[in-house]
Amino acid sequence: MKDIKSFNIEELKTEMKEIGEPSFRAEQIFSWLHEKKVNSFEDMSNLSKDLRTKLSKNYEITALSEVRSLKSEDGTVKFLYKLKDGQVIESVLMSYKHGHSICVSSQVGCRMGCVFCASTIDGLVRNLTPSELLEQVYEAERSCNVNISNIVIMGSGEPMDNYDNVIKFIRLISDEHGKNISVRNITLSTCGLVPGIQRLADEGLPVTLALSLHAPNDELRKTIMPVAKAFSVAEIMKACDDYFKKTSRRVTFEYSMIDGVNDTTACAEELARLIKGKNCHVNLIPVNKIKERSFSRSKDDNISKFKNTLEKNRINVTIRRSMGTDIDAACGQLRRSFMEEGN
C-alpha cells in the first residue's frame, strides 16, 4: 500500500494517471488530506464511490493513534503517539499570546549521542515519513481544536539525518493548497551536520536554522556531543554564515547550560568572541535533568552572568522559558517513561 499523504500534488497527478483517473482528482484528494484533514477515503464526498473504493485498495492514509496526552499547568500539551508499526513518538503543543506552536519529532530515537539528551539513549530506531511528520501537526490541531501557526522541528531525532523526508514535510505543510504554513514560521534545529546545512541553504526555503552549539570550542563540545568529532566549530560557523548570506535568515544558536560543564564566564567570553558581530541570536536553555545522566542545570546566578557577558558584547540573547517541565516535556523523556512501564 502506498502512503498517499506523503505525495505532493505533482506525484498525486502521476498516481491518478496510473489508475486511469483525470488529473484534477489530485487537487481534490490533496485538499481532503491536507486542508480538511480527513483520515478516511469514505469522507471524500466529492469523489465517486468507485473511486473511493479504488483508492482504498491501493493507498493507505497515515494516522497516529494517541496513547497519552498530558496537559501542563502552563497550557503546554504533550502527546504520545503510536505509529502503525507500534513505535511511539512524542510531540509538544505550546500556546503563546501570538498563537500555537508545535514541536515535532523527526525520527524514532536518534543516533547523535549527545550526552544530556534522553532521545538518543537507545539509538536510532527509524526515520519518520513525511506523512508521520504532518500528522503530528494535524492530529494536535484536531485534538485541541486549534490552528497551529509555528512549527519547530526540535523534538526527538536529528532532522538533517532524515533530510529528504524533512524537506518533503516542509514543502507539504507550506503548500498553498494544504495547511499553507509560512516557511518563515518553521524552525529546524540541528546538532550541526554541516553538509545538511549547506544543502538546506540551497533549497529556496527560508526556514529558521537553530544550531545546537552547547560549547564554544571543539575540545569541550566533543565531550558532550559526539558529532563534534565529525564537524568542527569553525566548519559550523562557516556553514551558518553561508546560510545567512543565502537565506537572510538570522541563525539561532542554542546553548544548553549544564552546571559546571559549559557555563563558566570563560565559556561565555569564548562564545562571545566566536559569534560577535554575526547577525544571530543565542538561546540559553537550562538543561533539563534526565534521570539516566548525572548532569544538572546551571545555577540561576551563572545563567544570568553568562547572559550578561554575551550582552556586553552586544549579542542578542534570551533564556528559554522552560515549558511543561511538570509533564516530562523535555526531549524524549515522556516516551522513555512510557516504555519503561513495559509498553
Known catalytic residues are 90, 331
Q: How many residues line the site for ligand SAH (CB under 6 A)?
A: 18
Comparing CB distances to ligand SAH, the nearer of 64 and 191 is 191
Contacts 24+ apart (CB under 8 A), 109-112: 109/156, 109/157, 110/156, 110/157, 110/158, 110/161, 110/332, 111/158, 111/161, 112/158, 112/161, 112/191, 112/225, 112/226, 112/227
SS3 of residue 237 by DSSP: helix
Q: Which of 247, 256, 298, 309 binds ligand SAH (CB under 6 A)?
A: 256
Comparing CB distances to ligand SAH, the nearer of 29 and 94 is 94
Closest distance to ligand SAH from the beta carbon of 46 (Å): 40
**How far is the first Cα of the chain from the last one, in angstroms, to the nearest whole number?**
27
Q: Which of 44, 154, 167, 170 binds ligand SAH (CB under 6 A)?
A: 154
183/174 Cα distance (integer angstroms):
6
Comparing CB distances to ligand SAH, the nearer of 38 and 121 is 121
Contacts of 37 (CB under 8 A, 6+ apart): 138, 141, 142
186 counts as binding ligand SAH under rule CB under 6 A:
no
Q: Pick out residues in 5-64 that bind ligand SAH (CB under 6 A).
A: none
- DSSP β-bridge partners for residue 284: 255, 319
Residue-by-residue DSSP string for 146-165: --EEEEEE-SSS-GGGGHHH
Closest distance to ligand SAH from the beta carbon of 170 (Å): 15
Binding marks (x or -) toward ligand SAH, 105..144, rule CB under 6 A? Answer: -------x-x-xx---------------------------
Q: Which of 135, 254, 263, 328 binds ligand SAH (CB under 6 A)?
A: 254
Residues that bind ligand SAH (CB under 6 A): 112, 114, 116-117, 154, 158, 189-191, 212, 254, 256, 285, 287-288, 290, 330-331
